[in-house]
Structure 1
């Protein structure tokens, strides 16, 4: 069984220019980081010309399907039934993208099949993590 789920999605950048084209993005979930989701935009889709990756909680993404969520760098909210809005706040500015809610739902379902929300804490190897921390302490 795979320990990583990746799902390509089409994101529509909300900007002042009318009808911005869709940009590719990827939602990624790794069993080794059970609370986190990554959304990656390829270099050709960014102003800087470098890949951009945002990490936020799976719980935030799921809750954002139902209502506005988030107070920090990443905020999620529904936009009608078929769209989800993700806002990414950085010192350089804010990016707002729309993605299909059905894509988010299928992604979250796949992550739940891999690691259910009530079992996320069981994915950590605390002994190994503590050993790594202690290794550098001496």
Structure 2
């Protein structure tokens, strides 16, 4: 069984222009990092012209589909009956994208099949992670 789930999604960038342009993005979940989700935007879709990857909690995405959540760099909230808003804040500015809620629900269902909610801790190898942190410090 694969340890990684990837799913392309269509994000709509909220901008000052009346039409929101679509930008490709990829959601990724890795069983070896069971609490996190990564959302990657390819270089052509970013102002800097480099790939940008945001990492945030799976729980944040799931909760944000029901109610507004997040106080830091990533915020998530429902929008209408079929969209979810993801807000990414950085020193350079804020990007706001809309994603179809159905796409996010499908992705979250797949992650839950791989690692059920509440059992994430069983995937974490604390001894290995601590050894990696300590490598080369002595």
Which residue matches 2:86?
86
TM-score w.r.t. length of structure 2: 0.97
Over 6 Å off, 4+ runs: none
Question: Does 18-27 or 73-82 show the bigger shift?
Answer: 18-27
Q: Distance in 2 between matches of 1:52 and 1:88?
A: 11
What is the count of residue pairs matched by the alignment? Answer: 138
The C-alpha deviation readout for 1:80-101, integer Å capped at 9, x for no partner, is 1200000000011100000000
Which residue matches 2:125?
125
TM-score w.r.t. length of structure 1: 0.97
Q: Distance in 1 between matches of 2:133 and 2:6?
A: 30
The RMSD of aligned alpha carbons is 0.9
Which residue matches 1:43?
43
Equivalent positions of 1:1-138 (< 5 A) are 1-138=1-138
**SS of residue matched to 2:99:** strand
How far off is 1:20 after superposition? 2.7
The C-alpha deviation readout for 1:33-77, integer Å capped at 9, x for no partner, is 000000000001111110010000000000000000000000000
Q: Distance in 1 between matches of 2:132 and 2:88?
A: 32
Q: Distance in 2 between matches of 1:113 and 1:65?
A: 19
Question: Does 52-61 or 123-132 show the bigger shift?
Answer: 123-132
Q: Distance in 2 between matches of 1:134 and 1:45?
A: 37
